[in-house]
Structure 1
Amino acid sequence: MVCDIVAWRDAMDKQAVTVKDGEGEVLRVLGTDVRFLLEAATTGHRFSVMDVSLPKDQGPPPHEHPWDEAYFVISGRVRFVIGDAVRVFEAGDFAYAPGGVVHGFKGVDETPARVLVFDAPATAEGFFRDLDKETKAEPGIAPDIPAIAQRHGMRFLPPAAT
């Protein structure tokens, strides 16, 4: 469902945004559901917020990019790799991956985990949208994920590096 955003503007043209549970555009990306809560265009690309659902063993493999990301686990358990650290986080736990640091994460349990993902500046959204677009353009044909990632300043590590 496309997000029905309630917005107010004050004298300085600042915009407040509210998104109710179940609202927000959802894209299926890398085996996960990514729900946009606060989009790049709304914040002038300063940051964005996504609600990501992670089924068991699904999520982005180790990768790097120049923007910062922060994660807050809402429910379930998530295995994070950030730099040399590998940890399983649970509801209420928080992680931060500075730009340029290799990181990845995936769901641990049969019940999908949910994680709020914050990126600054807001760049990940463009990657997710391009990946979704190319996946839908040629159903049954896997998109060239490394090429899409490269267009957005991302690099996935080879499997041996994980």
Structure 2
Amino acid sequence: MAERLNRTIPADEAGRKLVTKKAEEPPHIGVVGDTYTILLRGEDTAGRYCLIDMHVPPGGGPPPHRHDFEETFTVVEGEVEVSFRGEKVVARVGETVHIPANAPHQFHNSSEKAARLFCICAPAGQERFFEDVGVRVGSRTDAPPKMDAEAQEEFKKNAVKLAPKYKTELLKEA
């Protein structure tokens, strides 16, 4: 074990384990037409953050919303249009977008090919919201099942009901 030369940081938390995960490993969660793969959960990071691999097909992306945690996206494939407090910007491959806590926002894939984003939410918890409102799918790029109008309405009701538990507010406009 390495000798500690700098004693200003806390001791190693020996109970915490190294976590490795491949993007192909579940869970893959279908939400609003997108597929989100949970790479790191709050329990993996002592609640500090979660990491989500987002597959956003053309036309995909969540409705306008806000939440009390920080959210950062890095675009690794494709592009997305981000609305932040009414201002729109396009984020392309290699670009990172940070959304401060409580700010109204949304992102939307208005291109003709799928986008892939790595999303960090800090502190963790958003991964649980996705698991509670979404459906399990087979792979990182599988689309969630199509919902008829009745199923869509039920999904919306459930999301609105659960959003406060995860400190999220669904909005009419970003």
TM-score, normalising length: structure 1: 0.82
1:55–1:108 Cα contact (<8 Å) kept: no
Q: How far does the alpha carbon of each residue in 1:71-124 deviate from its partner, in whole angstroms, 9 at most, with x for none? A: 000100101112243111111000001110111101122221000000001021
Partner Cα distance (2:73, 2:166) in 1:
20
Q: Which stretch of structure 1 is more off in the superposition, 60-69 or 19-28? A: 19-28
User: What runs of 5+ residues in structure 2 fail to find an aligned partner?
Assistant: 1-11, 136-143
Please identify, of 79-88 and 61-70, the stretch whose mean Cα deviation from structure 2 is larger.
79-88
Contact 2:73 2:96 in 1 (8 A): yes
**Paired positions, count:** 148
User: 2:127 matched to which residue of 1?
Assistant: 125
State whether structure 2 residue 149 is matched by structure 1 residue 147.
Answer: no
Q: Please list every run of 5 or more consecutive structure 1 residues that lacks an aligned counterpart in the other structure.
A: 1-9
The one-letter code of the counterpart of 2:113 is T
Structure ID, larger Rg: 2
Of 51, 74, 79, the match for 2:76 = 74
What is the aligned counterpart of 2:91 among 84, 89, 92?
Answer: 89
Greater share of strand residues, 1 or 2? 1
Alignment TM-score, normalising by the size of structure 2: 0.77
CA drift of 1:37 comes to: 0.7
Query: Distance between the aligned counterparts of 1:117 and 1:97, measured in 2?
Result: 11
Mapped pair 1:107 → 2:109? yes
Superposition deviation, residue 61 in structure 1:
1.5
Structure 2 distance, partners of 1:74, 1:87, is 16
Percent of aligned positions that are identical: 27
Residues 14 and 81 from structure 1, CA distance in 2 versus in 1: closer, same or farther, beyond 3 angstroms? Answer: same
Q: Matched residues in 2 for 1:55 and 1:151: separation?
A: 28
User: Cα offset for 1:132?
Assistant: 2.2
More deviation, 27-36/142-151: 142-151
